[in-house]
Amino acid sequence: MTKKPSPARFPVGLDRLGGGSRTAASPLLRPQRPVHEAARDAARAASPSGLGMDSSAVRRRMVERLRAGGVDHEAVLAAFAAVPRHEFVDTALATQAYEDTSLPIGFNQTISKPSVVARMLSLLFEGDSARTGGSLGRVLEIGTGCGYQTALLARLARRVLSIERLKPLHDKARDNLQTHRGGDVRLVWGDGRLGHAPNAPFDTIIAAAGGEDLPAAWVEQLAEGGRLVAPVHDAASGGQVLLVVDRRADGVVQRLADAVHFVPLKSGKQ
């Protein structure tokens, strides 16, 4: 390794070009941006939709398919109609963004299938007159991923705090949500198994990764009248199932809903 030149030996600015100091580099002095950023911005500049077609039309078709599949909560459907899913995935995958499929977002993780996300959001509202047509209140999301579901939640809630354990995805979501944040969103890099005690209690808790069991902190941090939806291991089938937990004045009530397949809920942050 060659020794880094001391900045004092160069005229102001040149040391930056030589890579001596990165922190103060202005965009003009940064010859190469990450390729995915450049490609994404080029796509956005070329067409406001970034899809080469009217993305609101393909989104409407996705919403009609969700409706045909049984999703009937109008605010949930409106959120899907509003958030451009193709802008949360790599440009190469943008044309698949409105199919009902999970897609890779890097680091062995995936953005969840629209129908599964819609089902979970519907479960959060289901059968609860206080929430029907209303708001999810203060939300804790575990597993920010690329931030797509966070953007949906932001349209349905008063406030969203979303935790991601992988730093590069946390950063990616921050980048993605810069343009699409429709509400009060806070992103946290950390282990979501611990919940977020300083901001508890939450009216809604939703997890996008499934563990062997339900972390005790989540139930503890659920407000009275609040609801939690999370995938958990199902001993009976050996797969995963959505668990719905309600905290009521007289105690905690839980029930199992649909069979699902989410990425694992892991401990610690990286």
Q: Which residues are catalytic?
A: 112
Q: What is the closest distance, in whole angstroms, from the C-beta atom of residue 122 to ligand SAH in the complex?
A: 16
List the beta bridge partners of residue 7. none
Six-digit token pair at 45? Answer: 């500049």
Beta bridge partners of 130: none
Pair 106, 168: CB distance under 8 Å: yes
Give me the least distance between CB of 196 and ligand SAH, in Å please: 11
Nearest distance from C-beta of residue 266 to ligand SAH, angstroms: 4
Closest to ligand SAH by CB, 16 or 111: 111
Return the number of the residue (110 or 135) whose C-beta is nearest ligand SAH. 110
Residue 255 one-letter amino acid: R
By the criterion CB under 6 A, which residues form the site for ligand SAH? 105, 109-112, 142-143, 145-146, 148-149, 163-166, 169, 191-193, 208-209, 263, 265-266
Q: Specify the residue, 95 or 102, whose C-beta has the smaller distance to ligand SAH.
A: 102
Beta strand 222-233 pairing with 240-248? antiparallel
Nearer of residues 27 and 268 to ligand SAH, judged by Cβ = 268
Q: Are 139 and 204 in contact (CB under 8 A)?
A: yes
Nearest to 174 by CA among 183, 185, 165: 185
**Phi/psi of residue 78, nearest 5 degrees:** -65, -35
d(CA 128, CA 107): 37
Residue for token digits 């990764």? 209
Question: Taking the complex as a whole, how short is the minimal distance between the CB of residue 3 and ligand SAH, in angstroms?
Answer: 38
The residue among 208 and 230 lying less far from ligand SAH, judged by its C-beta, is 208
Burial of 207 (0-12, 13-18, 19+ CB in 10 A): buried
Distance CA 49, CA 81 (A): 13
Q: How far is the CB of 84 from ligand SAH (least distance, A)?
A: 13
